[in-house]
Amino acid sequence: MLPSQFIRSLVAIFFLFLLAAGSLPAATYYVAPAGLNSNPGTFARPWKTIQKAANTLKPGDTLLVRTGTYQEAVTVNVSGNSTASGTITFANYPGETPVVDGSTLTVPDDIYSALFYIQDHSYITIQGFDLRNYATNDIAATPAAVFITGASSFIKIKRCGIHGIRNMGGNIDNSGNAFAIAVYGSSATPCTGIAINGNNVYDCKTGSSETVTLNGNVANFEVTNNLVHDNNNIGIDFIGYEGTCPVPAQDRARTGICQGNTVWNISSQGNQAYSNGDYSADGLYVDGGTGIVIQQNTSYDNDIGVELASEHSGKFTSDITLQDNTVYSCRQGALLVGGYAATGTGGTEGCTINGNTFWHDDTLQWGIGEMQLRWRTSKCAISNNTMVAGPGNYLVTVPVSAANNVANSLDYNDYYSAAGSAAAQWIWNNRTCTGFAAWKSVSLQDAHSRFANPNINP
């Protein structure tokens, strides 16, 4: 064998070895509207569709998508790996914003359909896209901008604009569903390492569903620094007990962090899934989740600022740390804790509510106040919070019996109402207390708390 032939043979054997080991050198590919999928995907000869890349990329590869509009719903059929450089990245070309637009697509009659759909694939990053206009009136269809499900882990959704995701079908008895970003842990293997960071999510109409949701067997996640606003149902939601995961003990979002998000103008008023005059959409919601830290978020001009509850009878949201958040100008109240009804819902237990600012909420003057403890609330520690009453002068309300308000403690909080200490309103175990002194006497709470103007204006 000639030396040159020998060298070529060695090179071929080496690349076959790398291919078998999944360790081929990472490559950068390109997509552009004028490209062809028969091209090699280079800068000079790009592919035409993102789907071509979603069928082709190998661990460590990067796809850079040029500016333009791509009318396709992409199913990611590749995975990266756990090596330091093994993530597959779908990204905007630097300085450009590619648009994935669903306005010409028909949303299929399927449980889930998305502009980016990921099932049982891992180590994927999607960043820098404008995802928009995937909409339907069909209640059997469920459009989403990004849907992650199965045993998918280490997925990052970063710096995307998401808007115009809509299901406008149905009515209060049978409404359609839509999501901006949804993570459904539907496998016995948890979805772990999910990061949703720096996205701008707005103008979505989600029917009976939520804007950004983590549901089922989802663990060790990050939802950070997103803007979620002007949507017609719940802003950010962490869900359990819906039967999403086949293993009941793992069927709840858990051990994650929700930090630095700003959520505003979330309202169910006008949503076809709700009756007229229903203002029940949360900015931030934990519905059956556990072990989640919610901190340094801002929630304002929503129906409900934050809710810690469970919609499933006998089930509980638990061990939530709600700290250093700012909530203001919400229609019902800043914080609602516990089951929303006397029967048929669950409750809340073992949560820590510390260092938050609740300011001028209950703008509908429904008598909810800044914070309300409802049915089946227990062992929650509420301290070092600042609460400034809204127009109804209510601060803390507990409109349920003592049997539903078990071992909860309040202390070292700062309260204020413009009506003054003697006129401020509280409710404890369904007994109204007028004045701060009456509140402390009846509730036997807040021994070290004070009533003073904090001079804040969020």
Q: What is the pLDDT of residues 174-191, one digit of tens each?
A: 999 999 999 999 999 999
Beta strands 99-101 and 130-132 are parallel
pLDDT number for residue 19: 39
Are 71 and 159 part of one and the same domain? Answer: no
Number of domains in the chain: 3
d(CA 294, CA 276): 31
pLDDT number for residue 110: 80
Query: Is residue 165 a contact partner of residue 199, using CB atoms and an 8 Å limit?
Result: no
Are 205 and 177 part of one and the same domain? Answer: yes
d(CA 109, CA 228): 27
Identify any residues that bridge with 372 across adjacent strands, giving them in sequence order.
Answer: 336, 397
Are 130 and 205 part of one and the same domain? Answer: yes
Does a structural domain hold residue 291? no
Helix (H) or strand (E) run with residue 334 in it: strand 333-337
Does a structural domain hold residue 142? yes
Does a structural domain hold residue 16? no
- Decide if pLDDT at 23 tops 90: no
Helix (H) or strand (E) run with residue 9 in it: helix 3-21
| Ranges assigned E (strand) in 288-404 | 293-295, 298-300, 304-309, 316-318, 321-323, 326-328, 333-337, 347-349, 352-354, 357-359, 371-373, 377-378, 381-383, 386-388, 394-397
* 42 confidence band (pLDDT: 50, 70, 90): very high
Does a structural domain hold residue 296? no
Does a structural domain hold residue 2? no
Are 442 and 377 part of one and the same domain? Answer: yes
- Decide if pLDDT at 64 tops 80: yes
Mean pLDDT of all residues in 84-92 = 97
d(CA 325, CA 306): 10
Task: Find where tokens 């690349």 sit.
Answer: 15
Domain stops at, among 220, 248, 282: 282
pLDDT number for residue 423: 96
Query: Is residue 133 a contact partner of residue 162, using CB atoms and an 8 Å limit?
Result: no
* 12 confidence band (pLDDT: 50, 70, 90): very low
Does a structural domain hold residue 3? no
User: What Rg value do the Cα atoms of the chain yield, rounded?
Assistant: 25
Report residue 11 as tokens: 């090179």
Mean pLDDT of all residues in 77-81 = 98
Are 112 and 146 part of one and the same domain? Answer: yes
Starting from the edge strand earliest in sequence, which strands make up the sheet with 347-349, in order? 316-318, 347-349, 377-378, 405-406
Helix (H) or strand (E) run with residue 409 in it: strand 409-411
Report residue 454 as tokens: 């904090």
Are 109 and 79 part of one and the same domain? Answer: no
Are 381 and 408 part of one and the same domain? Answer: yes
Query: Is residue 240 a contact partner of residue 274, using CB atoms and an 8 Å limit?
Result: no
- Decide if pLDDT at 338 tops 80: yes
Are 174 and 188 part of one and the same domain? Answer: yes
Q: How many CB atoms lie within 10 A of CB 67?
A: 14
Q: Which domain holds residue 244?
A: 102-282
Domain stops at, among 33, 62, 96: 96
Structure pTM? 0.94
Identify any residues that bridge with 426 across adjacent strands, giving them in sequence order.
Answer: 433
Are 90 and 112 part of one and the same domain? Answer: no
Query: Is residue 176 a contact partner of residue 145, using CB atoms and an 8 Å limit?
Result: no
d(CA 244, CA 260): 28
Are 127 and 35 part of one and the same domain? Answer: no
Report residue 161 as tokens: 């604009």
Are 129 and 91 part of one and the same domain? Answer: no
Report residue 147 as tokens: 């849907």
pLDDT number for residue 18: 41
Query: Is residue 160 a contact partner of residue 128, using CB atoms and an 8 Å limit?
Result: yes
Rounded mean pLDDT of the chain? 95
Are 116 and 156 part of one and the same domain? Answer: yes
d(CA 394, CA 416): 10
Which backbone phi and psi does 275 adopt, to 5 degrees?
-70, 160
pLDDT number for residue 24: 55
